[in-house]
Structure 1
Amino acid sequence: MTHPSRGTLSVQLYTFRDAYAADPGGTLARLARTGFRYVEPFGVGSNNQPAADRVSGATALRGLLDEHGLSASSAHTGAPVGPDADSMLDAIEALGVQTVVISWPGEVPGFERDVMSTLDGTLRFADALNEAADRAAARGVRLGFHNHWWEWTVFADGRSAYDTLLQALRPEVFMEVDAYWAQTAGQSPAALVGQLGERVRLLHLKDGPAEPDAAQVPLGGGVIDNLAVIRAAPWVRWHVLEMDRTDGDVFAEVRQSARTLIEAGVSDWT
């Protein structure tokens, strides 16, 4: 695989969820003025949405992105399994994205956050993700999984839930590695992406004290060596910025993070 000289910046729209809920178009216009050309929407075709709203919501979002000169690098979506699988895939198709990510187990019908606290739950969850990946692939869509910090429960055989999941998933199920949450779980995120190799398709980059409930800060202001993570995975195109919570102006702080990566020579807008 040819490695890009720089990664392409995107930003997870969950970062701006309050502003977006109040003014979707204004929020996207502000991101476009900052320099972003790509965003990563969330909740597309969600397991928590009524089926009738999935396609209409994705179609409206696609129109807003087009209006502001933005594209979706990827999207956090509902898992296409069960009786609503087709409507979830219809929504993904309406958005026009071919790289989708399951952001947490609750986006898979029948599962909750704590499913990976047991070996049996982890294996059942892997089966569901494999089924979802097969359904997505039939529509030309590739599916992956995004970590938080709770996937590193250690089972009796000495393996973590995350490692168990990886071994049970088909190789075509990719990983979106969230460096912040991996370090919160006690992992070295740079070592993790090095071990996973080209199974990693996207990076989630944020900074702070690596504590689950703490406010996050612009890149370079916390304990995460995001530059080391990026340099450990030169094949990864998408550098997705995200802030789950911050005490500051989230637009200004994301802009500062983008500038940090651009000035370091590791990322660019396109």
Structure 2
Amino acid sequence: MKEKFSRRSFLKVGGMAAVGTAVLPGTGFAAPAAISPAIALQLYTVRNELAKDIPGTLKRLASLGIQNVETAFWTENVTVKEAAEYIKDAGLKVCSSHIEIPVDEKSKTAMLETAAAYNCKRMIWHGWPEDKRYSSLEGTKELIGIYNEAGKFAKANGLEFGLHNHWWEYRNKVGGRFVYEWLLEGVDSNIFFEIDTYWVKVAGHDPAKIITQFGNRAKYLHMKDGPAKYTASLSADKPEPMVALGKGTQNIPAIAAAAKPNIEWMVIEMDVVATDVFEAIKKSQDYLIKNKFAVAGK
């Protein structure tokens, strides 16, 4: 499928899982049980289809069994309130929303309006494009300060702020460490992470090991599969076509095993596919459910 729109073409940005308990033998005390992540779809996956027919696209997703979505960008003529109505009419729920960093009155207002429209508390900085401040330790620490302020603003308004990664946080080294290590150490504990497992692999890391390293700081995973190779064209937002989960180079079973203790949401996403996008979504969802890596929704 040829991309009709890139990330830069879109002008508008767009619950914790119940944790079971089990009694520890001989103690009488309850211990947290492993989480079964729920499935959601990042709507960026169907951006081209949404640009043509919002209600039809959302209803088709619902017909495939998708129950929850993560919002991203809408075309300029669609307000977040209108988008929320379309999503509700399709019988879908919003588990999280990608937003701009709330650093000024405009972006702060946009975040609050987005949260209210979607009835969703988890707001995630999408992280695109690469901020050149990640090329130095000083710049990275400056960004950490900005993220911490955003987290405080979110918390003060009853919301949660999260960070989504691309490949540069895992390729760039500053001060002798990868950028992601500085982020994990430096951002406030009330800020959560959405680990994009594909970009982690593109950068040369093992996603399962990264998930384990983040522990309970990571609540979401972006689940995507494909060649997962770093190419120069990535900087121009031209990744190689992705495939349904289980059909590419990702070790999904290892990722799922690492996810069990803490991950609440597995968000299916494909930046670009060479096949029918709805077929790839359906196959991805079925793969996660059949192998008991995740549940349909909540």
Say whether the fold is shared (TM-score over 0.5). yes
Whole-angstrom CA distance in 2 between matches of 1:227 and 1:31: 25
Q: Per-residue CA shift, 1:25-53, capped at 9, x if unaligned?
A: 11100000000110000138xxx97xxx8
The secondary structure found in structure 1 opposite 2:284 is helix
Q: Structure 1 pair 3/63, CA: closer, same or farther in 2 (3 Å)?
A: farther
- Pair member with larger Rg: 2
Q: Give the counterpart of 1:122 among 140, 163, 179.
A: 140
**Distance change in 2, residues 1:166/1:69 (3 Å):** same
Q: In 1, Cα distance between the equivalents of 2:102 and 2:61? A: 30
Distance in 1 (CA, whole Å) between partners of 2:258 and 2:149 is 30
Q: Which of the residues 35, 39, 51 maps onto 1:9? A: 39
**What is the aligned counterpart of 1:73 among 95, 102, 122?**
95
Question: 2:208 maps to what in 1?
Answer: 190
Identity of aligned residues (%): 33
TM-score by length of 1: 0.89
Cα shift readout 1:49-74 (whole Å, capped 9, x = no counterpart):
7xxx8xx8221121111111100011
Higher mean C-alpha displacement, 202-211 vs 5-14: 5-14
Q: Does 1:18 align with 2:18?
A: no
Name the amino acid aligned to 2:211.
Answer: V
Gaps of at least 5 residues in structure 2 are 1-18, 20-31
Which amino acid is 1:268 matched to? V
- 1:210 pairs, out of 216, 225, 228, with 228
**Matched residues, number:** 256
1:258 aligns with 2:279: no
Structure 2 residue aligned with 1:95: 118
Please give the per-residue CA displacement for 1:187-223, whole angstroms capped at 9, x wherever unaligned. Answer: 1110001011011110110101112421111111111
**2:83 is the alignment partner of 1:57:** no
AA matched with 2:97: A
Deviations along 1:231-269, whole A, 9 cap, x unmatched? Answer: 112121211000011111111011101111111012121
Given candidates 159, 163, 173, the residue that maps to 1:154 is 173
TM superposition shift of 1:83: 2.5
**SS of equivalent to 2:180:** helix
Structure with a larger share of its residues in helix: 1
**Cα displacement (A) at 1:81:** 1.5
Q: Which residue of structure 1 lines up, in the alignment, with residue 250 of structure 2? A: 224
Instruction: Considering fraction of residues, name the structure with more strand.
Output: 2
Residue of structure 2 in register with 1:137 after alignment: 155
**What RMSD in Å do the two structures reach over aligned CA positions?**
1.9
Q: Given residue 72 of structure 1, which amino acid in structure 2 is its aligned partner?
A: V
Encode CA deviations 1:117-163: one digit per residue, 9 max, x unaligned: 221221111111111111111111101101111112112x3211111
Check whether the contact 2:35–2:264 (CA below 8 A) recurs between aligned residues. Answer: no
Pairwise CA distance, 1:105: 4.9
SS in 1 for 2:157: coil
Alignment partner of 2:280: what SS?
Answer: helix
- The 5 Å alignment of 1:167-182 reads 167-182=185-200
Distance 2:35 2:215 in 1: 17
Match of residue 82 from structure 1: 104
